[in-house]
Amino acid sequence: MSKKLYIKTYGCQMNVYDSERMEDVLRPEGYQITEQPDDADLVILNTCHIREKAAEKVYSDIGRLRPHKDGKTKNGEEMVIAVAGCVGQAEGAEMMRRAPVVDMVIGPQTYHRLPELLKDVKEQRKDKSSARVLDTDFPVEAKFDHLPKVEKAKGPAAFLTVQEGCDKFCAFCVVPYTRGAEYSRPSADIIRDAKRMASEGVVEITLLGQNVSAYHGDDGNGGETTLGTLIRELDKIDGIERLRYTTSHPTEIDDELLTAHRDVESCMPYLHLPIQSGSDKILKAMNRRHTGDEYRSTIGRLREMRPDIALSGDFIVGFPGETDQDFEDTLQLVRDVKYSQAYSFKYSQRPGTPAATDEDQVPEEVKAERLARLQALLTEQQIEFNSTSVGKKMKILLERPGKQEGQLIGRSPYLQAVHVDLSKENIALDETGNKAYNSFMGRMVEVEILEAGPHSLKAVLVAD
């Protein structure tokens, strides 16, 4: 009898990729994915430490799992509960103490060892009433060298990790402590994976890294490949029509990357480039290593290379020491740059980061008021950007069904969600007598945008 695996993924695209790779690691051990945790043999909570109250949310989910662990699974064994990811890395020992129901805590760099760690759990259970396995070391070997072959791609768009870790040590961020130092995969390995993806029907690849613009992979000839050069190499692969990358740091948007946006057709006209604050004083306190004007200059050069590029960003309001003027500087930067979308949050203290011990914390009510003002401006810009799409024709990649019959959802070159109504199209019937809308899944189609909302667009197919 196969064993059931339930994985809950929190946070970033990197965690989505890691969860898929954990599934790959465990499939040879007889595990098959289930959508429900209640009858799973193994539950993995793949956690993220970036968002506010991240650890508390994990503990709440652990509490909901506790009743399911009281009985036996269909295989006659006790459920194994594992916590993976950045919360596990940062708070592993405390989590084992606080949540005895958790059998195993592993960090982002050790999930390739899951099969042997599960054996440790079972060995411990032979002698004890509960198992306690903690593995949050940063191994000397690269985990990518020990991961099994990736299973077949699940759709027309896929993530591909090219870089992990960060050396920037921003004062608010736990990534250097949970993901470790920057590591770039050899370019040949990435190209091999991308070719396999293309052979399986992947049309769009998003290159992932905590600081992906710092990519400097071994080129196999004693030199290094930059992200801009890697994009040019991936563009040569038959079948890959779209390339994206995330997340970048403003200090590492170099000339090779800028010219890739200008020259490489498959490099999408969209860039997520966090700044966090528009105040030079706060940027310095954050250890961001650039000023607001340097960020504006990078954006200006990018728009010279690719005038139609859309930008998104990240913002933190209420960082320790932020004054009304500092916040106004952030609003002004947003007005200057004009974003197609953005993510914004109130600053929350992360244990172990320099800013967490700063005594000049901003009151919660001030943070809330500033966040509301910032989000109102960002929403206004997003609506304005979306509205400029109405009446335009563009190619989109259809990825999944919508909520309405005959509706499929895809992404524009600018990463907007586009709802396409196919109900009036002359589409052939399948063997069940229903219109074969799914035959359009994974296809790149030309559409005309009819309507724009705050978060998505509506479109119809353009006749051939």
Report CA torsion sign: 86, 89, 94, 98.
positive
Question: What Rg do the C-alpha atoms of the chain give, in angstroms?
Answer: 23
267 among annotated binding-site residues:
no
C-beta of residue 109 within 8 angstroms of C-beta of residue 103? no
- C-alpha triplet 447, 450, 453: angle, nearest 5°: 115
Tokens linked to 206: 């998003």
C-beta of residue 281 within 8 angstroms of C-beta of residue 249? no
CA 369 to chain centre: 28
86 among annotated binding-site residues:
yes
Rounded Cα gap, residues 73 and 109, in angstroms: 29
173 among annotated binding-site residues:
yes
12 among annotated binding-site residues:
yes
| Sequence-ordered alpha helix ranges (H) in 70-178 | 85-98, 114-127, 175-178
Strand partners, 311: 271
β-pairing, 417-421 with 407-411?
Answer: antiparallel
Q: HEC states along 62-92?
A: HHHHHHHHCCECCCCCECEEEEEHHHHHHHH
Rounded Cα gap, residues 46 and 108, in angstroms: 9
Rounded Cα gap, residues 107 and 22, in angstroms: 12
170 among annotated binding-site residues:
yes
Tokens linked to 459: 């479109």
* Binding-site residue positions for [4Fe-4S] cluster: 12, 48, 86, 166, 170, 173
* Binding-site residue positions: 12, 48, 86, 166, 170, 173
